[in-house]
Amino acid sequence: MPTIKEMNARMDALNKEWLTNFKPLYRAGNNLKRVMFKRIFGKGKSGGYNTAMDSLPTFPYSTTPIYVDPNSLRNAPASFKFGKPTIDSKGKKKKGKPIKSLYFPLGYAQLKTKTSATLPLQLTGKLAGGFDKSEVVKDGLSVSVTLPDSEADKAEGLQFGNRNFKGYGVIFQPTDMEEEEFLKLHGQYVVDVINELLK
């Protein structure tokens, strides 16, 4: 068991370390990101939720006609990527020409029925992957869950809308329950470190 003097020295050293490297806070921040990812993007066939815990999409998908770049779609069938195959002079089957643009007269609602992407935000390009891979910014006594700059406009449009789309409401902010879990874990991680010092 350390003496009071030794404990004070250890606590002083720990406080100095935490000013620039607050590991318990960063651990809680990493967990917050995992929880938010599951809530936003869903799991299996279970769709995600916005910050107000309204099921996504919060209103029916648009039926306004759209043109879509096939390369922007995940989980799309091969027929979306290439035209009809042809037979060459030797009787061999050749892959069709790449399709540059797809037209959906019934809009995004029709597009959702034509792919295997069943979750609400799965067709938003690289948004899920960007959120998953973006770093949790750790800066002294603060921590931030981030999105890459390349996905910021997309997230903004999904939340607050653009043109004729009104948006799904705030999505990329923690819910009250997520914040509560974050604070609880942060406190527990702090206690764990201090308990180690007491040994």
Helices and strands of the chain, counted as H and E runs? 6, 6
As given in the structure block, the two tokens for residue 80 are 């979306």
Residue 142 lies in a domain: yes
Residue 54 lies in a domain: yes
As given in the structure block, the two tokens for residue 54 are 């309204």
pLDDT of residue 35: 95
pLDDT of residue 123: 47
One digit per residue, the tens of pLDDT, for the chain of length 199 reads: 777 787 788 888 888 888 889 999 999 999 999 999 999 988 766 678 999 999 888 888 888 888 888 877 766 677 777 778 788 778 788 877 888 888 889 887 888 777 766 655 654 557 888 899 999 999 989 999 999 998 898 899 889 988 777 889 999 999 999 999 999 999 999 999 988 887 7
Residue 13 identity (one-letter amino acid):
A
pTM of the complete model:
0.73
pLDDT of residue 82: 79
Instruction: Tell me the pLDDT tens digit for each residue of 162-181.
Output: 877 788 999 999 999 999 99
Range of the domain at 176: 4-59+118-198
Residue 15 lies in a domain: yes
- Looking at the chain, the whole-number percentage of residues with pLDDT higher than 90 is 33
User: Following DSSP, what letter does each residue of 120-170 receive, concatenated?
Assistant: TTTTSTTHHHHHHHS-EEEEBTEEEE---HHHHHHHHHHHH-BTTB-----
Residue 153 lies in a domain: yes
Residue 100 lies in a domain: no
As given in the structure block, the two tokens for residue 11 are 């606590």
| Total structural domains within the chain | 1
